[in-house]
Structure 1
Amino acid sequence: MSTDNVKRVVDFSLYLVTGRNLLPHGKSYLTCIEEALRGGVTVVQVREKEVETAEFLEIANDTIALCSRYNVPVIINDRIDVALASGAAGVHLGQSDMPLAIVRKLLPPSAIIGVSCTTREHALKAVEEGADYVGLGAIYATRTKDVSAPGSVCGIAGARAMLGALEGTGVKAVAIGGVNSKNVLRTLHGCVSSTGHALDGVAVVSDIMASPEPYATASCLAQTFCAWSAAVSRGPAAFLVKAQYTREGIAAAAATLVDTVRRVRPLVHQITNNVVKTQSANVTLALGGSPIMAEAEAEQADLARVPGGLLINYGTVDAIDGMLAAGIHANQNRKPVVFDPVGVGATSFRRATAAKLLDAWQPTVIKGNAAEIGALADSEEVKAQGVDSLGGFKDASAVVRSLARTHRCIVLLSGPTDYLSDGSTVIRLSNGHAILGQITGAGCVLGTAIATYCGAASIAASEPCEGSLVNGDMLLAVAAGTLALTIAAQRAAGRKEVRGPGTFLPALIDELAMLSPGAVLGTATIDVETE
């Protein structure tokens, strides 16, 4: 360990925690570490809970010798004596280890000291005592550490609260506990404070140490982090570019997408509730998409590779394993995910299910009525009656903007006026007709329309046209999908043969099939509010 006063600048982006017990058959410890270093690991923490001091010191020395060739710092877990004897860059402390203030006195000024934190109070204390970085977690359940005690798993929401405590302190933060290639994108997008304070890295154990190909695994994780880091300034919901949001620009983009959907014919994969499957499929076809309703967990990896959109609607709260797998694979393939948490405030089971899904994957869009959005925002302003809402928000714009920032996605609040936001811009859409609310699953088919248009926009992003307004912009896609349904509803309600909800639904599907770009341009009612 250096004895000078200059503290090393550390890249915490991919932080490997060792676990020799996880190594696959035939893979040596140092071979695994070197492959991971070549794949992009930026910090290595040596964690040895079961060995004697002499063996720990030997492992530390060997690890430091290897990592020094890649200019990667080595942190020692728990053992200050081993850190000093080996010359490691620093130590990582648990909540039950020696107090940080004492450790700081024992180590040279250049030492890097990290602390494991599970609560906001832990994070505040770490800042006060002078930690250089904190490990936030466990984010998920993990086999490398006992997290059975209440409060051991803090989840995405707990990490957000701790990141808020680090605001403006300069203390770095890595997420740890069950983080792997499948959930890293959700971890990065989800672990962001309400004011935008994000992670500095992710700590990974078994995904690399147990991998027969640690180079490939580390490369995948490193590339995901780099892509996320580069996209942070552009907002998490935009695939490529963000347009200047004006009434005219939004209407023009929505009109363009009407034809784009029919041209690219996106596969719209829907795990949706049993009440609306037939009409959701019919709406998808009428818009120009290709529907598939597939719930089996075993199918999700293959379906996620097909360009298009994914809708997860848990109105009947089943096929949860399929929903988990579908979202994870969609994230890996950068496929837009529309989440419709139907009736989420109605029961504790629905709330727990929503939390489980949102901990597992990153949504591109969350849509819901006032009660559903209120439940996700922990607001008591709007009450739920089953899957319906009683009342509305005093400031709907503020609610959708705040929730979009929390979940790092587009949020759509549906109602007589539809509010959608990316966390900055709020778009208000005032098309539609009251009769739309009198058919079963009106909100569900809105989710279908949005998934169809998001799917088309994501495909268009891979084949950009010069001057296009819709190349991958998910906020515009959500606006377009909403306008398509609500404008078609207005036109259907005006038909002579429509006498009530029974005759309205077939007319709605007809109008969706006949919807033209000109109808959107001439009818869309749009207001824009930008911070």
Structure 2
Amino acid sequence: MNHGFAISDWKAARVQAAAAAARGTRIPNRCDLRVYAVTDPDCNAQFGRTNAEAVRLAIDGGATIVQLREKRADGGPFMQQAAEVLEVCRSRGVPLLINDRVDVALAVGADGVHIGQDDLPAAAVRRMIGPDAILGVSVKTVEQALKAEADGADYVGAGAVYPTGTKESEVIGLERLAAICKAVSIPVVSIGGVKTSNAADTVAAGCAGAAVVSGLFAVESPTEAARQLLSVVDGALAARQ
């Protein structure tokens, strides 16, 4: 069962995972998933911010991990954006994952990759990025979550938990979210329509954190939004002890 831990010293945890791999075993890479910021260029464009600027603001408010998601950019421009965002993340000690594009993640030296069900298989991606990079997988069912864990995922992102305008996606609801959390031993983060007003419910269901797009970036102050979300998630985690 997922215990919803939050480990801030993710670099030390990655070293432990790499050492285990060298011994012929593997333990999941542990990282702090409490406030998982997922970028959206359209949201940021509304406020005249680049992805790097928006990420800096979110981290300043307490974002604990960042995923750079850019569905329309070609490889070169995406790589440039990734390098800029990575510089911000590294300066603040926060891991950066790249959505879908394993090649971009490897090219810039990002901390990991997040993939969906229609991307390369998780087992293949794990072989490509090695044992000490972070691998996340989007899931909608218990079966998908169990397979992701078996294939080397360090965490799964489950959703959409609530209706969302960011992307078209089946809504799984809190009951299925709780079933996914109970089924796997790796952390689960909620995504899809998650915001300050409902994030606590997803943590109560067993999640280690909340992945948020518009709630962090389609707002005037990503810093304040991240600060509020972190407070809610921390409170819900404490209540679950």
- The reply to whether TM is greater than 0.5 is yes
Deviation at 1:8, TM superposition (A): 5.3
Cross-structure match for 1:25: 47
Q: Give, in whole Å, the separation in 2 of the partners of 1:164 and 1:32.
A: 34
Cross-structure match for 2:195: 180
Q: Structure 1 residues 28 and 90 mapped into 2: Cα distance closer, same or farther (>3 Å)?
A: closer
Cross-structure match for 1:101: 123
Q: Structure 1 residues 27 and 106 mapped into 2: Cα distance closer, same or farther (>3 Å)?
A: closer
Q: Give, in whole Å, the separation in 1 of the partners of 2:121 and 2:227.
A: 36
Deviations 1:318-350 (A, max 9, x none): xxxxxxxxxxxxxxxxxxxxxxxxxxxxxxxxx
The SS at the match of 1:96 is coil
Q: Cα RMSD over matched residues?
A: 1.8
Deviations 1:387-423 (A, max 9, x none): xxxxxxxxxxxxxxxxxxxxxxxxxxxxxxxxxxxxx
The SS at the match of 1:181 is coil
Q: Which amino acid aligns with 1:99?
A: P
Q: Give, in whole Å, the separation in 2 of the partners of 1:129 and 1:64.
A: 26
Say which one has the larger Rg: 1
Q: Give, in whole Å, the separation in 1 of the partners of 2:69 and 2:31.
A: 19
1:283-362 matched pairs, under 5 angstroms: none
Cross-structure match for 1:200: 208
1:54-73 matched pairs, under 5 angstroms: 54-73=76-95
Deviation at 1:118, TM superposition (A): 0.3
Q: Which amino acid aligns with 1:216?
A: E
The SS at the match of 1:44 is strand
Cross-structure match for 1:211: 219
Aligned residues of 2:181 and 2:187 also touching (Cα < 8 A): no
Q: Give, in whole Å, the separation in 1 of the partners of 2:155 and 2:33.
A: 9
With structure 2 as the length reference, what TM-score do the two structures score?
A: 0.86
Q: Give, in whole Å, the separation in 2 of the partners of 1:48 and 1:66.
A: 17
1:448-467 matched pairs, under 5 angstroms: none
Percent pairwise identity: 39
Deviation at 1:25, TM superposition (A): 2.9
Structure 1 residue ranges without an equivalent (≥5): 192-197, 234-531
Q: Give, in whole Å, the separation in 2 of the partners of 1:224 and 1:28.
A: 27
Q: Give, in whole Å, the separation in 2 of the partners of 1:228 and 1:183.
A: 11
Q: Give, in whole Å, the separation in 2 of the partners of 1:25 and 1:71.
A: 25
Alignment partner of 1:10 is 2:31: yes
Deviations 1:69-127 (A, max 9, x none): 11000001001100100101110110011111111111122111111010111111112
Alignment partner of 1:163 is 2:171: no
Q: Runs (4+) of structure 1 moved beyond 6 Å?
A: none
Q: Give, in whole Å, the separation in 2 of the partners of 1:89 and 1:67.
A: 10
Cross-structure match for 2:239: 231
1:402-417 matched pairs, under 5 angstroms: none
Deviation at 1:227, TM superposition (A): 1.4
Q: Give, in whole Å, the separation in 1 of the partners of 2:53 and 2:149.
A: 36
Deviations 1:300-325 (A, max 9, x none): xxxxxxxxxxxxxxxxxxxxxxxxxx
With structure 1 as the length reference, what TM-score do the two structures score?
A: 0.40
Number of aligned pairs? Answer: 218
Aligned residues of 1:27 and 1:212 also touching (Cα < 8 A): no
